[in-house]
C-alpha cells in the first residue's frame, strides 16, 4: 500500500515537472528548459543504478559540445560536464562517510601513488598561485576528471564484458562524430585551411579532434585480432571503421597525431619484446641532449624564424615542407612559447606561477625574434608542450612526476602483458599502453590532458592498467584454470 502511494506520488510529480517545463518553454522560448526532465530522469537513475548512469555519461563524452556565455568569459561543456559535477559530489559524500570505500590494494599501486602525488602537488601550486581564481577552477576540474575517469572505473571494469562494453560505448558516438566532420569537411573540399570550420562545434579545434581519434585508434587495431573467428561481416565492418578513422586522422591535418600512432606501434612492439623500459629514458636523454646543445651561448637564436616568411599554409603538403624548413607558423610559435616557458620557470622553479597562469605572465619572457603572426595569442592558449606546461605553472616537481608517470605506465604495461596467460587481457593491455603512447606524443606538442575528451582516453586506460595489474597477479597465484579468451 505504502509503495503504491509512493509510486503514484512519483508519477504525479514527474507529470507536473513535465507540464511545468512545457509551459516555461512556451513562455520563454529557451531550449535549455527542455533539458530539465532529462536531468530529473538522470538524477533518479543515479539513485537506482549509478553504474548505468556512468555508462550513459561515458557515451555522451565524444558528442559533448562547449557552450560559451557571459560574453565568452564563461563556458560549459554539455551534457557531460554537469554529470561530472554530480559524480564528484556523490563520491565526496560516500568517501567522507566511509574512507575505506577506496580499497587498500588501490592505494598501494605505483600508478595511483604517482597520480595522488601529482594531485597533492597541484594543491600546493594552487596555494602559491599568482592567479588564484583560475587555479582554483583548474583544481576543481581536475578533481572531477580524476573521480570520473580514474577512480570510479575501479568499480566498473570487473569482467571482460565490461572492457568490451567500454569499447563500444566510446566507439559508437565517436564514429558518428568522425563521419559528421568528414562529411562537413567534404563540402569544404577537404581544404587544409577549412579544417577548423569542419569541426562543427564537436571539438575545441582540430588538434583536440585529432588527439581524441588518434588515441582511440590503437583500440581499433587490437580489436582486429580479437574478432578472429567472428565472421567475415564483422571483420569487414571493423575494417571499414578503421579506414574511416584513418581518413579522419589524415584530414585533421595534425602532424602530432600521425607521429603519435607510429610511436604507439613502437611501444606495442617493444612491450612484446620486453624492451619498452628503454624508450622513455632514451626519449628524455635526447631532449636533455638537445637542450644542452641549444641553451649554452644562446645557440637556439640561430633557429629564429624569418617573420615575413613564416605563415600558415593553405595545403598540408606545403605545411609539412615548411615544418622541415623552419618556416611553418605553428611550429615557430611553439618555439616562441617554449622559450618563454623555460625563462619563466627560472623565477618560480618550485611551485610555478599556478595552474592557468601562463598566459598572463609569459610575454615579457618571450624572445621577440621568435614572434609570428599569431603571437598576439587572442585565443589565450598556453605552452603547447605538457612538460613545460607543468614546469611553468606547477614547478619542477610536477614536471618530474609527469615524466615518471609515463615511464611507469609503459613499464607496468610490459609486466602485466608478460604476466598474463589470457590472450584477451594481453592484447587489451598492449592496446591501453598504445592509447596512452599516442596521447603522450600529442601532448608533447599540446596540453590537452585536462580537457574532458582527452582526459577520458588518458585516465580510463590508466585505471584499467591498475585493475589489470591486480587481476594478473591474482591469476598468476591462482591454481584454478585461467579464464578463456573472449573476443570482441
Amino acid 320: pLDDT: 47
Q: Which residue has the cell 621568435?
A: 370
Whether residue 420 has a cis bond before it, omega within 30° of 0:
no
Grid coordinates 570487473 are at which residue?
158
Instruction: Tell me: pLDDT of 24 over 70.
Output: no
Last residue of a domain, one of 9, 29, 48: 48
Quick one: which of 267, 289, 287 has its CA closest to 277? 267
Write phi, then psi, for 131 (nearest 5 degrees).
-135, 75
Q: What is the pLDDT of residue 7?
A: 53
The yes-or-no verdict on residue 486 having pLDDT over 50 is no
Longest dimension (CA), the chain: 86
Who has greater pLDDT, 37 or 420? 420
* Percentage of the residues of the chain whose pLDDT score is greater than 90: 58
**In the predicted model, is pLDDT for residue 45 greater than 50?**
yes
The tens digit of pLDDT for each residue in 51-110 reads 999 999 999 999 888 776 654 456 778 888 989 999 999 999 999 899 888 999 999 999
Q: Which position has the higher pLDDT, 261 or 253?
A: 261
Phi, psi dihedrals of residue 65, rounded to the nearest 5° = -125, 150
Q: What is the pLDDT of residue 487?
A: 37
Asked, for residue 98, whether it belongs to a domain, the answer is no
pLDDT in tens, 296-315: 766 666 666 655 555 455 55
Judge whether 61 lies within some domain: no
Same-domain pairing of 121 and 217: yes
With cut-offs at 50, 70 and 90, classify the pLDDT of residue 321. Answer: very low
The domain of 36 spans 1-48
For residue 389, tell me if it sits in a domain: yes
Mean pLDDT for 257-265 is: 96
Long-range contacts of 97-106 (CB under 8 A, 24+ apart): 102/151, 102/154, 103/154, 105/470, 106/154, 106/466
How many domains does the chain fold into? 2
Q: Is 70 exceeded by the pLDDT of residue 206?
A: yes
Whether pLDDT at 458 is above 70: yes
Domain-embedded: residue 87 = no
- What average pLDDT does this structure show over 334-342? 84
Mean pLDDT of the chain: 84
Quick one: pLDDT band at residue 428, thresholds 50, 70, 90?
very high
Residues 282-298 have a mean pLDDT of: 82
pLDDT of the residue at 36: 62
Asked if the model's pLDDT at residue 253 lies above 90, the reply is no
Domain co-membership, 158 together with 289: yes
Residues 31 and 144 in one domain: no
pTM score: 0.88
Residues 33 and 115 in one domain: no
> 413 is written with which cell numbers?
604495461
pLDDT (0 to 100) of residue 403: 97
DSSP bridge partners of 65: 78
Give the H or E element holding residue 233. Answer: helix 232-251
Q: Do the beta carbons of residue 403 and residue 282 sit within 8 Å?
A: no
Within-domain flag for 405: yes
Residue 348 inside a domain? The answer is yes
Q: What is the DSSP letter of 363?
A: G
CB of 87 within 8 A of CB of 144?
yes
Residue 373: predicted pLDDT = 60
pLDDT tens figures, 374-388: 667 777 778 889 999
What is d(CA 53, CA 43) in angstroms, rounded to the nearest whole number?
9
Amino acid at each position: 500500500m505504502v509503495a503504491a502511494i509512493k509510486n503514484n506520488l512519483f508519477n504525479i510529480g514527474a507529470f507536473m515537472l513535465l507540464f511545468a517545463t512545457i509551459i516555461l518553454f512556451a513562455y520563454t522560448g529557451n531550449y535549455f528548459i527542455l533539458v530539465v526532465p532529462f536531468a530529473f530522469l538522470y538524477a533518479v537513475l543515479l539513485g537506482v543504478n549509478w553504474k548505468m548512469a556512468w555508462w550513459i555519461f561515458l557515451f555522451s563524452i565524444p558528442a559533448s559540445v562547449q557552450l560559451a556565455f557571459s560574453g565568452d568569459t564563461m563556458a560549459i561543456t554539455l551534457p557531460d560536464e554537469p554529470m561530472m559535477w554530480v559524480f564528484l559530489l556523490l563520491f565526496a559524500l560516500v568517501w567522507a562517510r566511509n574512507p575505506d570505500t577506496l580499497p587498500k590494494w588501490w592505494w598501494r599501486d605505483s600508478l595511483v601513488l604517482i597520480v595522488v602525488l601529482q594531485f597533492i602537488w597541484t594543491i600546493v601550486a594552487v596555494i602559491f598561485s599568482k592567479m588564484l581564481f583560475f587555479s582554483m577552477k583548474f583544481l576543481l576540474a581536475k578533481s572531477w576528471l580524476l573521480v570520473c575517469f580514474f577512480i570510479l572505473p575501479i568499480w566498473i571494469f570487473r569482467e571482460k564484458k565490461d572492457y568490451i562494453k567500454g569499447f563500444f560505448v566510446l566507439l559508437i558516438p565517436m564514429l558518428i562524430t568522425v563521419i559528421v566532420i568528414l562529411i562537413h569537411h567534404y563540402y569544404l573540399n577537404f581544404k587544409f585551411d577549412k579544417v577548423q570550420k569542419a569541426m562543427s562545434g564537436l571539438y575545441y579545434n582540430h588538434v583536440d579532434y585529432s588527439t581524441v581519434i588518434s588515441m582511440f585508434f590503437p583500440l581499433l587495431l587490437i580489436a582486429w585480432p580479437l574478432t578472429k573467428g567472428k565472421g567475415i561481416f564483422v571483420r569487414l565492418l571493423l575494417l571499414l571503421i578503421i579506414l574511416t578513422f584513418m581518413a579522419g586522422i589524415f584530414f585533421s591535418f595534425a602532424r602530432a597525431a600521425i607521429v603519435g600512432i607510429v610511436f604507439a606501434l613502437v611501444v606495442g612492439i617493444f612491450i612484446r619484446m620486453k624492451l619498452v623500459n628503454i624508450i622513455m629514458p632514451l626519449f628524455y636523454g635526447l631532449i636533455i641532449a638537445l637542450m644542452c646543445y641549444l641553451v649554452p651561448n644562446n645557440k637556439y637564436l640561430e633557429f629564429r624564424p624569418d617573420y615575413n616568411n613564416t605563415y600558415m599554409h593553405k595545403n598540408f603538403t606545403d605545411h609539412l615542407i615548411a615544418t622541415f624548413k623552419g618556416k611553418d607558423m605553428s611550429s615557430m610559435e611553439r618555439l616562441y612559447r617554449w622559450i618563454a616557458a623555460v625563462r619563466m620557470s627560472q623565477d618560480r622553479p618550485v611551485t610555478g606561477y599556478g595552474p592557468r597562469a601562463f598566459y598572463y605572465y609569459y610575454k615579457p619572457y618571450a624572445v621577440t625574434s621568435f614572434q609570428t603572426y599569431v603571437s598576439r595569442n587572442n585565443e589565450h592558449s598556453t605552452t603547447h608542450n605538457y612538460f613545460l606546461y607543468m614546469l611553468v605553472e606547477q614547478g619542477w616537481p610536477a614536471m618530474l612526476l609527469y615524466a615518471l608517470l609515463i615511464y611507469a605506465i609503459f613499464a607496468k604495461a610490459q609486466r602485466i602483458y608478460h604476466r598474463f596467460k589470457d590472450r584477451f587481457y594481453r592484447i587489451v593491455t598492449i592496446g591501453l599502453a598504445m592509447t596512452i603512447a599516442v596521447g603522450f606524443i600529442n601532448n608533447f606538442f599540446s596540453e590537452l590532458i585536462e580537457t574532458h575528451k582527452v582526459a577520458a582516453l588518458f585516465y580510463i586506460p590508466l585505471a584499467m592498467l591498475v585493475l589489470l595489474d591486480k587481476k594478473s597477479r591474482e591469476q598468476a597465484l591462482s591454481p584454478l584454470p585461467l579464464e578463456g579468451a573472449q573476443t570482441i
